[in-house]
Every structure is written in structure tokens, then in C-alpha cells.
Amino acid sequence: MAEFIRSEILGTTFETTSRYANLQPVGLGTAGIVCSAYDLISEQAVAVKKMMKPFDSTAIAKRTYREVKLLKHLRHDNLINMSDIFISPLEDVYLVTELLGTDLHRLLSAKPLEGKFVQYFTYQILRGLKYIHSAGVIHRDLKPGNILINENCDLKICDFGLARLQEPQMTGYVSTRYYRAPEIMLTWQRYGKKVDMWSVGCIVAEMLLGRPLFPGTDHINQFYLITELLGNPPDEVIERITTKNTRRMMQSLQKFKPKPLREVFPAADDEAINLLEKLLVFDPDQRYSAEQGLKHPYMAPYHDPMDEPVATEKFDWSFNDAELPKETWKIMIYSEVLDFFQMGTLPNDTQPIDQTQPQFQLPTDLFPDIDLQELPATIDPTTFAQMDFFADGQLPV
């Protein structure tokens, strides 16, 4: 069994294996605390995320399972990649990933971006999204704070806690307001991967502008700012609104004509403005996809169709509609952790797991009534009905 070392960080207990040293807090959110650390085996700096109270409720346990499973499956140069995962004696889940120096939000808060950086970052975001969407996954929470960057200008998308598949009906309250697609605010019961593309448009605009494009103070003000710039939504968009109150509100809005984006971005390249015009579109059916964005002339200096991979297989969402008790999600999370160390190689032909790392063992004292040796490496949630386990980085100048 791996040795765990306990320390107090930002008022919470961190329990990490002896593999990680020199923990320093770098981020705090509702879902967890992130520390930088030194990996004594790989001899590299890493990020260690403690997921807060991962088994506190059924909803949180399911979200934890989803994020762990997604990080195992999604492997791409422009996505944050998981190198280790463990569950501590206090039953907290820890995810270990690459450590990048800063995020786009901090970068934009510190200094304006030159056009060449805007272009290169946009390319990497689109490249990562092409892969994510090809796996049947929608990120749903793209924003500058979820886009990590290092000193070499390498960019990686992170935080898949809200990621979902495209499905007939989806919950409406997702993503940070400034980057939220109109179809989410208009309470459509069905939306898809194009919600991420609206977020890309808002992020590109913010990189060009140096501030958020639509900094709404609330839901209504957010939509007012959008219509003030883009004009009122076309009738075919309003007809898709599923709630009468929202449709009535939309029909009562002040009438706006679209403004030329050149007035808002006087110093931007013509091609950058044209790409924004393809992304900031009310109708998601008319909005650019990630693949279309990569083919846009603005991306020509970097676009290489032979080096913009897609997922080799779709992500398995069979668990998504399962209504299971939190104890069951807990067992499934343990199964995913165990499977991570038994795979030998990671999904999509990535590098083999470092076999010199401490061997993971399930803490048998947590489940005295279960023979963990008989637990399958991966668990199909549909089988539980028949089972009786539980009735500031700097860019180069």
C-alpha cells in the first residue's frame, strides 16, 4: 500500500502519496483545491487536484465519476491529461495532471495579447474542441479560466466537470454567464456541441478586445447585450423556445439592428472578424463547427488536417441516465481508479503508464462486506440492478 503524507492547505487536509512533494496551493474552486507539486518519479512539476467531498451526495458522486471517466478517455495535446489518480484514507479523490504556468483569464487580466498570440491560441482551442466533439462530448463550460497556457504558448483545455453528451433534453443552467450560448439562456430542451462554439467566439472576442464581450449582470442583461450587438434573434430561433414566458419576453425586447463587428474591433484582422461572424450566430445550425473553424483562412498559418486528430472511439455515456445511490457511484469510482492502473496503456494509443509508480490498492476496510478482488475492472451501471453490493506565467516576448 502506498504511503500517504498529510498536510494542511488552505484550511483543508491534503493526503497525497509520498510520490509528491512540495505542495503549494495554486487554485481554489467549489469543486476542489489545486496544488502544484513535484513528482519525485517523473521529476516534473504537476498539478494535484483534491475533489471536495466527492461522495457527499448522489449528484456530486456522479459528477466525480463523470470527470474521472472523461479524463481517462480524452487524451489530446490540447487537453489536460491525467497522469495519476488516487483515493486517500479520508476518502478524498485526487487527480494529478500536467502543470501549466497560467490560464487565459489571468493572462488577459495582466496584459493585452498581440494578434499572433490570439491567432495561435484560437487555433489550439479549435484543435482541442474538434477532438472533444468527435468523442461525442460537449464541454459546456468553456471560459478563459478553463484554458491553461505554459511559457511555450502550449494551450490545454481543462475542467470537464460539466461535460455532457448531446442528448434530447439537457439541463439549462450551465457555463459561466459571459460565455453562455443563447440557446441555453433561451431554455431550449435540446442543444448540442455548438454551445461550445459560441463560447469560443466569446473567448476570441475577449482576446481581441482585452475584456469580456458580453459582461451581463444577470440573465436578462446578458441577452440584452447580445442583441444590442448582434440584433434580435431571427424568428426561426424564437420559435424553438420551449417556454411561453421566455418566448413572450423575447418578443417584447427592444428591437436592435446588428452592428458591424469592425466598430467593436477596430484593430483586428479582417479574417479574425470574419471568423467571429461565423461563431457569434444565434442559430446553432448556422454556427461554425470546430472543424469548419480550423479550415477558416484566419487559421491558415497553423491548419494541418493531418495533425488535427479525432477520437478513435466515442466516449461511453451509458452511465449518464443511471439513477443510482451514492454508494454505488462510489464503488464505480473505485473501479475506474483500479482500471487506470490495470490498463497498461492509456486510451487512444498514448504513452504507457509509468510502472515504477507506487502500486494502487483499494482500502479494503472501507468496504468490509465486499470482496474487492472480485470487483470487475470496469463496471456497467446497468448491471447494478442484478448486483447486491448495496441494495502567473509569462508569454515569451
Answer with the residue of higher pLDDT: 396 or 124: 124
Task: Provide the pairing of β-strand 32-39 with 44-51.
Answer: antiparallel
The tally of CA atoms less than 13 A away on the side-chain side of residue 375 is 25
Model pLDDT for residues 262-286, shown as the tens digit of each residue = 999 999 999 999 999 999 999 999 9
Q: At CA 142, angle to CA 136 and CA 148, rounded to 5?
A: 110
User: Quick one: what percent of the chain has pLDDT higher than 70?
Assistant: 80
Model pLDDT for residues 369-380, shown as the tens digit of each residue = 434 444 444 434
Residue 113 is classified by DSSP as P
56 an active-site residue?
no
- Amino acid at position 257, single letter: K
Contact status, residue 291 vs residue 130, Cβ threshold 8 Å: yes
What's the average model confidence in pLDDT over 128-139?
A: 96
d(CA 294, CA 88): 42
Using 50, 70 and 90 to split pLDDT, how confident is the model at 387? very low
d(CA 368, CA 371): 8
Residue 388 has pLDDT above 60, yes or no: no
Contact status, residue 35 vs residue 24, Cβ threshold 8 Å: yes
Contact status, residue 91 vs residue 168, Cβ threshold 8 Å: no
The domain ranges of the chain are 4-99+315-386, 112-307
Residue 165: the pLDDT is 45
Using 50, 70 and 90 to split pLDDT, how confident is the model at 133? very high
Least confident of 22-31, 136-145, 324-333, 351-360: 351-360
For the chain, first and last CA: distance in Å?
Answer: 47
Residue 394 has pLDDT above 50, yes or no: no
Residue 363: the pLDDT is 42
**Which cell numbers in the block locate residue 229?**
450587438
Residue 216 has pLDDT above 70, yes or no: yes
Other beta carbons within 10 Å of 267: 8
Q: Locate the DSSP E strands across the chain.
A: 4-9, 12-17, 20-28, 32-39, 44-51, 82-87, 93-98, 102-103, 147-149, 155-157
DSSP string of 133-152, one letter each residue: HHTT-B-----GGGEEE-TT
Residue 167: the pLDDT is 43
What's the average model confidence in pLDDT over 205-221?
A: 92
Residue 156: the pLDDT is 96
Contact status, residue 322 vs residue 382, Cβ threshold 8 Å: yes
What's the average model confidence in pLDDT over 223-233?
A: 92
Model pLDDT for residues 43-97, shown as the tens digit of each residue = 999 999 998 889 889 999 998 999 899 999 999 999 999 999 999 998 899 999 9
Using 50, 70 and 90 to split pLDDT, how confident is the model at 329? very high
Hey, which CATH number is domain 112-307, 3.90.1150.10, 3.10.250.10, 1.10.510.10, 3.40.640.10? 1.10.510.10
Which residues does 252 contact at the CB level (< 8 Å), separation at least 6? none
d(CA 220, CA 223): 5
Hey, which CATH number is domain 4-99+315-386, 3.30.420.40, 3.30.200.20, 3.30.70.360, 3.30.470.30? 3.30.200.20
Residue 344: the pLDDT is 52
What angle, rounded to 10 degrees, do the helices at 194-209 and 270-279 form? 150
What's the mean pLDDT when you consider all of the chain?
82
Contact status, residue 225 vs residue 215, Cβ threshold 8 Å: yes
Q: Which of 158-167, 217-226, 261-270, 338-347 has the highest mean pLDDT?
A: 261-270
Burial 279-288 (b: 16+ CB within 10 A, else e): bbbbebeebb
Answer with the residue of higher pLDDT: 359 or 51: 51
Q: Give the chain's count of helices (H) and strands (E).
A: 12, 10
Closest residue by Cα to residue 55 from 68, 43, 42: 68
Residue 330 has pLDDT above 50, yes or no: yes
d(CA 187, CA 172): 6
Using 50, 70 and 90 to split pLDDT, how confident is the model at 189? low
DSSP string of 326-358, one letter each residue: HHHHHHHHHHHHHHHHHSSB-GGG-PBP-TTSP
What's the average model confidence in pLDDT over 195-218?
A: 95
Answer with the residue of higher pLDDT: 32 or 265: 265
Element (H, E) at 243: none
Question: Partners of 115 in the beta sheet?
Answer: none
Least confident of 59-68, 76-85, 153-162, 166-175: 166-175
d(CA 366, CA 139): 33
What's the average model confidence in pLDDT over 317-342?
A: 90
Q: Active site residue: 92, 103, 141, 159, which one? A: 141
Closest residue by Cα to residue 393 from 209, 82, 147: 147
Residue 366 has pLDDT above 90, yes or no: no
Residue 1: the pLDDT is 58
Q: Which of 206-220, 225-239, 364-378 has the highest mean pLDDT?
A: 206-220
Using 50, 70 and 90 to split pLDDT, how confident is the model at 188? low
